[in-house]
Structure 1
Amino acid sequence: MPLANIGDASLHYEIVGRDEGTPVLLVAGLGGVAGYWQPNLEAFAARHRVLLHDHRGTGRSTHSEMPYSVELMATDLLRLMDALDVERAHLVGHSTGGAIGQVLAATQPERVASLVLYASWARLDAQMARCLALRRTLLRSAGIAEYHRATPVFLYPPDHVCAHHDLLERDIAAATAGSPSASILESRVDGIMAFDGLPYLPRIQCPTLVLVADDDILTPPDSSRLLAERIAGARLVRTPHGAHALSRVEPAFFNDTVLAFLAQHSTETTEATP
């Protein structure tokens, strides 16, 4: 992955797929790394030019020791788009990536052609608050390795964890080896818990798909229902199985659903939308 200078940090990014058409930004969640999208990348790249990146504080991007916020992450992504001359793009955001998408679609409407909010939220509910507080406590008390070891519990349904134990063990080892510091991990959790997306939602005018699995314990379906209710014209799609990592657990369903939505909102269609 090449490196882009965005001013006070450098972001690792990757561009794959077709050269023509409106690009698609695949924006990861709390983990922040582009590799999250590996099960989906081939399908998306066959139809679109796809841009992925490691968030600041994750992967091979700058590990800045600083307070983090969703708004900071949105500004970083906007600066990356500027650095790469991406004027307008579809944005597919997972969890925190969806929160980033809310900020960009509301504050930079000319830059976001359409929006997919997958397993995301605007208002921290009691369930999500408990999950994130537990992860933060685990980080403080047991350290970085156990923080990463617990991640699959929040992301995947039990049957997926049981069926993919060895693969998940490799993922945990890689995440631990490449982990940012405990202070960055905690600051990113704090920034996510502080996010209030409700003021942004009425300002989002682009076509929006809200997607969630019913067995998601981190951002439960009511969080997605709220997004769909508060964003004008948004469409809510629920599916029974997939938990918080639906795109990895049920990649065929995810790819088909999101790519069909993107096909409905080409550059020409989106630009004609009032």
Structure 2
Amino acid sequence: MPHAAGLWYEWHGPEEGEVLILSAGLGGSGSYWESNLPSLTERYRVLLYDHRGTGRSDRELPDASVEAMADDILALMDALGVARATVIGHAAGGVAALALALKATDRLDSVVAVNAWLRPDRHFLRCFELRLALLRDSGVEAYLRAQPLFLYPANWISDNLDRLDEEAARQLAAFPGRETVERRIAALAAFDVGDRVAEFRVPIFALSARDDMLVPSHCIDAFYDTRGGIGVMGVGGHACNVTEPQQFALFVRNFLDHEIYPAE
């Protein structure tokens, strides 16, 4: 398996395409983006990777902070000779992309932050507390079986229970350990750049789902006045790119092509 800077990675799409780096959420696995590869690889050179401490990347996690997640994206770019790229990040990957945009403006063409946030929100902090309680008191399997309740709409869960059970089994086999998960959650809960919105110098497209059960869509309202702007999907839940891949692709491609977004 290919590794660079301690991170597992995988290329998709035409070699001559503009580079898109896809950064997953708390689970950290590049395979999270599988539903989106068909639409994004028609034109773009897509780079998937597993976050440090998870999946097929190095399991040692000396620094779990969001800033370290951003540094890992930059280290991967350096190791693979990628001068500039657009980063599409979901939740944890989204805030890592925002952190990178504040420290390495010259390396980014733009950022798409999906169901991300600028500062801690009371609702998602409570959700994290509940998920940690499940992990600590009921164990890893219960934590993973409850995870879809935070990620997907109820109808989608009902229609995809077999798929979710299979995913839970794979996630259990590859679970990074309680300490790693707890440290990553603590890092996400501490991320706060709410007072630094004016410092962004690259186009930031903040995409949220109105029915996200984990991160309220108002967490990205401050991006109304930034280059790039905001898009709100009416449905899709926290993992809206998985549940509504075609609608997600429309928002993202419109932004990448024209720096505009479709009406809700």
Aligned residues: 259
1:34 aligns with 2:34: no
Deviation at 1:232, TM superposition (A): 2.2
Q: Distance in 2 between matches of 1:240 and 1:43?
A: 20
Aligned to 1:146: 142
- My pick for the range that moved more, 115-124 or 64-73, is 64-73
Deviation at 1:195, TM superposition (A): 1.0
Aligned to 2:238: 244
Aligned to 1:113: 109
**TM, length-normalised to structure 1:** 0.91
Q: Is the 8 A contact 2:228 2:255 kept in 1?
A: no
Q: Distance in 2 between matches of 1:21 and 1:203?
A: 29
1:255 aligns with 2:253: no
1:99–1:65: structure 2 CA closer, same or farther, 3 Å change rule?
A: closer
Q: Distance in 2 between matches of 1:25 and 1:259?
A: 14
Q: Distance in 1 between matches of 2:220 and 2:169?
A: 31
**TM, length-normalised to structure 2:** 0.94
1:12 aligns with 2:4: no
Structure 2: segments with no counterpart, 5+ residues: 260-264
* 2:19 pairs with one of 18, 23, 28: 23
Aligned to 1:211: 207
Deviation at 1:199, TM superposition (A): 4.2
* SS of the residue 2:220 aligns to: helix
Structure 1: segments with no counterpart, 5+ residues: 266-274
Deviations 1:18-57 (A, max 9, x none): 1114200111111110000000012111110001100001
1:233 aligns with 2:227: yes
1:88–1:65: structure 2 CA closer, same or farther, 3 Å change rule?
A: closer
Q: Is the 8 A contact 2:17 2:43 kept in 1?
A: no
Amino acid at match of 1:3: H
Deviation at 1:264, TM superposition (A): 2.3
Q: Distance in 2 between matches of 1:189 and 1:208?
A: 24
- My pick for the range that moved more, 110-119 or 65-74, is 65-74
Q: Distance in 2 between matches of 1:166 and 1:154?
A: 17
Deviations 1:138-159 (A, max 9, x none): 1111121111111101000000
* 1:129 pairs with one of 106, 125, 130: 125
* SS of the residue 2:239 aligns to: helix
Q: Distance in 2 between matches of 1:184 and 1:210?
A: 27
- My pick for the range that moved more, 63-72 or 210-219, is 63-72
Deviation at 1:233, TM superposition (A): 2.4
* 2:220 pairs with one of 214, 218, 224: 224
Deviations 1:200-252 (A, max 9, x none): 422212122111111002111110213x14x6223111121101000001000
1:146–1:211: structure 2 CA closer, same or farther, 3 Å change rule?
A: same
